[in-house]
Structure formats: structure tokens, C-alpha cells
Amino acid sequence: MDLDPRGEKRCESPYRDYYSTGGCYRPPKRRRSYGWLAAVLGFFLLCAAAYIAMDRRGAPPEETMRQHDLDTEQVTAAVLPSDPAAPEETAALTPAAEPLAGEFRMTISSGSGRKMELPDIYKKVIPSVVSITTLTPGGNATGTGIVLSEDGYLVTNYHVISGAEEIRALLTSGEEYRAAMVGWDETSDLAVLKIDAEGLTPAEFGSSDSMEVGDAVVAIGDPLGTELRGTMTDGIICGIQRDVHVGDRTMSLMQTNAALNSGNSGGPLVNMAGQVIGINTMKLKSNYTPVEGIGFAIPVTAAGPILEELAEKGYVSGRPAVGFSLEVLSDRLRLFYDLPGNLYIRQVAENSDAYAQGIRAGDVIVAIEGTEVSTLDEFNTIKNQFKAGDTVTLTVFHKGGEMDVRVTLMDRADLQ
């Protein structure tokens, strides 16, 4: 046996050249340092702190009443979403007309007209139905429109063209045009467009006031996109002057069971004389219970004056505005900064009475007219009960303390 001088078993060690004893052992392990791990954790903690400090940016302004699927915990009315369209190569389009004020006047027939068969109704109305395609930052979407005049005025829903970078109108003849925005109104969900075309077939409009529950109607539009454009469904009028709550406002609408789907927005609801008596806009939906056959249309009698004003001025006068934009802070940020409310003022228009009364960016809205509010819908619901020129009381958190401020509402058009 190979023994070392001390009589112990000799073994070869890879460390023999470094340690003179040459014994059967390994050198002690070096202590590991965890300083790098502490440095990495510290870096991520700094990033998290910076994120919290910057998390206040980028929320939507109060004055923009967004049109989207307005689901609640139970049943709600929801605007018919524009149907996403696949990107496609298009032929050369006719340039958009100048979006200038026009002389459009809407004529509504007082009589109910002669009753027609369904095929004849379709043949009469379809030349006045337009397929609307919009290009938005999120992609393409589609809806439906109606020809208002021979010289290219069209109507559709505001939520169809909201946020669009480009709008295209496809006629039944197959001609496609770029459309210019003439005017829009979020409150009524209506928009007037203009294309550079002549000799169009305008729709015949009938009085929605003459409709009764049980009257037969048809809806024409582009359900689920242009692949099914020109689809006609039939039904009846199921309700008159339904007060439907949509986000922060209430709309008085006609109810129908004619099938409406994504893409039908802005299309016509037609009586049996082939007259457009409504503009399809939304349907009832539920998170938990299947809901079918409950759709709504804007009565033509109510829409007429709005469309004329949009064509003439580009906006509807008298819509109330407070003159500042809000963002909704999360509860986490509200607690972190120890604020009394969630509605944080981002910007104040210098031509507004709110600015004159000392309200500034960085203030927080606690209540309006004595009612505490924590969401945009709650704030706008109360604000929209007033008109431009009225005065409301705002409870504002300003420079560390709360104060009540009397503010005169301005016309929203003055902010555009």
C-alpha cells in the first residue's frame, strides 16, 4: 500500500501542486458573494417606484364620451360594435369631398305611403344603403350608412367612425369613395359624411312618430362586415320611445326585433312603404343570459334636426362642457397619494369658467352638485342634466384642501 511519511494512505490530489502536504483532501470552498443579487433586486425596486410615480398619465378625457360595448354586471344596452375587417388591397379611391358646411335639408314624408311587398322594399331602398369602412390605429372596421342627398351627404352612427384615420364609402353600384367628416355628435350617436359624388339615390324618409307597436319593419345593412353587405332582416316595432341608458346618457329610441348585428350600425330601419323611419344603433346584451331580438334605432323625426345642424355647422349647439379633461385614477394610486377622489384633472381650457374660478391641472373632483362621483359616467350623468350656460357646483380638492366652486358650463363646440 502506498503510504505517506506519516503512515497514512497516499492519494493523488489535483491540488497537490498547490498544497505542500499532498493529503487526501480538497481545499476549503470560497465563500460565495450575493452582492450582485442585492444589486439586481434594488434595480427592480427602483423601476417599480418609478412606474408608480408615472402611472398617472394617459387616461381618456372626461369630455370624450366613448362609444364601446357598455356591458354591466347584468343587462345593458350596447352600441353595435363596428365589425373588424381584414386588411385588403383596394382600387384607387375617389378623393374625399371638402368637409365644408352644406345646404342639406332633410325631407320627412308625413304620410305612411303605399304598402309594398318585401322584395319591392329591398329594390327601392338598397341603392340608398352604403357600406362604411374605417381605418383606425387598431385596424379596419365596418358599419353601414344611408344616402341623404344626391350630391353625396351620408349619415351613419358616430361610433362607427369614431377615431377613424380614414373613412371609405362603398356604394351598391360598387363605386368606392373616400369620405370626409362634416359633423358629428356623440350624444345622439350621429355623424354626417360627404363624398365627392353626384346623382346618388337618397333614401325616402318617413315619420317615425306615425309608427305603432306591431307595425312591420325591415333592417338593411352589413352584418359582420362587407361580405354580407346588403342583408335584409324583418320584424316589427316592439316599443316606442324607449328610454335606454347608454353609459352616461339616456337615449329615446324605437325598439325592434329585426335582427341587428355588428356591422348594422348606421343602417336604415324601414317601414312597409320603403321609407326610412329609424337609424339602427344598438342592441340589448347580457353577460349571463342569452338575449336575442332586442334592437334599437334612432327615430328619424328626432334625428332630422340634428343631421341638418351637423351638415350646416359641423356640431350641435348647447351640449354642456365643464372645460377640463379628467382621468380616472386607480384606487391603488388614490390611496398611495392620499387623495379624496379618483377623478384627476389633467388639463383645463384657459377660455373656460373653470379656469377663471381657479381650477387647475392636478386638482381632484370629489363631487358635483353635492353628489360624490368616482367615475366618468357618474360625473357626466349629472353634468348632462344641465345645458351650456347653466351653473353647477363642483367640490374640488385643491392644494391640500377641499373647496366648493361654482362653474358656468360652456358649449362643447367652443372646445373643438
CA angle 94, 99, 104 (to 5 degrees): 105
Query: How confident is the model over 215-274, as pLDDT tens digits?
Result: 999 999 999 888 899 999 999 999 999 998 887 778 999 999 999 988 999 999 999 999
Give the residue among 311, 305, 402, 302 at the shortest CA–CA distance from 359. 402
CA gap 179, 172 in Å, rounded: 15
Task: Report whether 67 contacts 191 (CB < 8 A).
Answer: no
Q: Tell me the C-alpha to C-alpha distance, in Å, between residue 331 and each of 50, 153, 328, 399.
A: 18, 46, 9, 20
- What pLDDT, on a 0 to 100 scale, did the predictor assign at position 69? 29
Query: How confident is the model over 159-189, as pLDDT tens digits?
Result: 999 989 999 999 999 999 999 999 999 999 9
Kindly tell me if the per-residue pLDDT of 306 is higher than 90.
yes
Kindly tell me if the per-residue pLDDT of 199 is higher than 90.
yes
Show Cβ contacts of residue 70 under 8 Å, excluding neighbours closer than 6 positions.
76, 77, 78, 79, 246, 247
Task: Report whether 193 contacts 109 (CB < 8 A).
Answer: no
Strands 166-170 and 129-136: antiparallel
Query: How confident is the model over 122-148, as pLDDT tens digits?
Result: 999 999 999 999 998 888 889 999 999
- What pLDDT, on a 0 to 100 scale, did the predictor assign at position 62? 36
Average pLDDT over the chain reads 81
- What pLDDT, on a 0 to 100 scale, did the predictor assign at position 197? 95
Task: Report whether 194 contacts 110 (CB < 8 A).
Answer: no
- Domains of the chain with CATH codes: 75-313 (2.40.10.120), 320-415 (2.30.42.10)
Give catalytic residues, as residue numbers: 159, 189, 265
